[in-house]
Structure 1
């Protein structure tokens, strides 16, 4: 039997402008991306330009962030906390009502299902920490040119924050990107993606009923169970072309022309 290594997990104390926000359980990689992504996802910044500096003190396990935007900790902590579900449980300060006020997505970009499945397979093959341990979550951005960028963490929320942070730091345009994740798409995961403006979100597992309702309201396409030649498209925004359905014109899998897609 092949023995895999154990996933890394560290307590990281997030300190913003000298104020301790909370201690998070994180995988100790791409912490700067995570800081940008988490602060954006929770509404503490609107762009990378508001971040003056990010530094990690490995000795104390503190991640220090300096903001230029008049950060008010009292206003933040006065908001009601919503505890997230599942592994790597965290806290979000956005309620369902808050998320419904996010800007609706208007992207007209479309993708064939076979393309998304192929990219999910590529994502799986380019997740080194998962391949090493078998116990990590990942999040992936598909760029307009088809290239991908992957971030991993012990928690699915953290992985998504990391990839959003990468996108923010690189000034990427959300409407031209696809977000893939290994974790369940719950309402708080959907809210992170919606705040950044992703038009298409996919996962190898399920989406919750609340997430799907929210996605429909915000005009976001959501696909789950991206495995092999199969998927469940929960929404009807028209951005995922069902080219694998039996009888669909030009179905490459029926003609045996498509590359095999790995789980």
Structure 2
């Protein structure tokens, strides 16, 4: 495959109720979805109804958001910052200890491993920015009827925020949704999914030990290395039915007794 061009990234200044949050490096696409998803993931909004308006001023690269709720910037920035790992590195104000206060997922939905592998392949074929330039990340929601919705960005965290923002704006319920991502599932990626209530998260690559520990605590199923006929099921919430034969589909959970470090 010969790709044309390079992945795009732009400095986007996020301003909420007149207060400048930060400048983020983003792909200049689906920015309204990103704003909803980021603000929700960081606890600045509880849902789409908290957002009054979103305006993007391309000339200055400013994304201006007006909220209906009582946003307190001093309270937000009094929290300790945690810098996220990997490409498109950002900042989260939720520690692992904070995330462990989220509600545990109660979904009883069960998925065949072959179904997740099929949807991961379909997801890969519906990432136009990646197919054009490479070097992009994507996030995907799989609906109950099998249809998918994809968002892309230079950063894996941004892509997940975009798809969560889309789900918020469309008032989607998480009980029958699966989240797929191209990026590594680290604790802050898991926290974004946990806050929205996804019961199953799948990735084409690995999950960290901290993310798996957190997923087990919150009753979330995490499946990594979804490639071809290969997969690693890190958790044992009972939502994945292994209908793929052979060692490539083996389940390899981390030992439950293993003591893992926590972020404070």
Shared topology, TM-score over 0.5?
yes
1:42-57 mapped onto 2 (5 Å cutoff): 42-57=42-57
1:7 matched residue in structure 2: 7
Alpha-carbon distance in structure 2 between the residues aligned to 1:92 and 1:135 = 23
1:69 matched residue in structure 2: 69
1:71-86 mapped onto 2 (5 Å cutoff): 71-86=71-86
Alpha-carbon distance in structure 1 between the residues aligned to 2:5 and 2:136 = 11
- Name structure 2 gaps, 5 residues minimum: 248-264
Secondary structure, counterpart of 1:135 in structure 2: coil
1:213 matched residue in structure 2: 213
1:60 matched residue in structure 2: 60
- Name structure 1 gaps, 5 residues minimum: 248-263
Q: Is the contact between residue 3 and residue 131 of structure 2 (CA under 8 Å) also seen in structure 1?
A: no
> What is the CA deviation profile of residues 82-111 of structure 1, one whole-angstrom value per residue up to 9, with x for unaligned ones?
000000000000001000000000000111
Alpha-carbon distance in structure 1 between the residues aligned to 2:196 and 2:6 = 32
Alpha-carbon distance in structure 1 between the residues aligned to 2:110 and 2:73 = 41
Alpha-carbon distance in structure 2 between the residues aligned to 1:196 and 1:237 = 18
Secondary structure, counterpart of 1:192 in structure 2: helix
Q: Is the contact between residue 3 and residue 132 of structure 2 (CA under 8 Å) also seen in structure 1?
A: no
Alpha-carbon distance in structure 2 between the residues aligned to 1:246 and 1:206 = 20
Q: TM-score, normalised by structure 1?
A: 0.93
2:230 matched residue in structure 1: 230
What is the CA-CA distance between 1:4 and the residue it aligns to?
2.6
What is the CA-CA distance between 1:141 and the residue it aligns to?
0.1
> What is the CA deviation profile of residues 177-218 of structure 1, one whole-angstrom value per residue up to 9, with x for unaligned ones?
000000000000000000000000000000000000000000
Alpha-carbon distance in structure 2 between the residues aligned to 1:13 and 1:168 = 22
1:101 matched residue in structure 2: 101
CA RMSD of aligned residues (A): 1.0
2:30 matched residue in structure 1: 30
1:157 matched residue in structure 2: 157
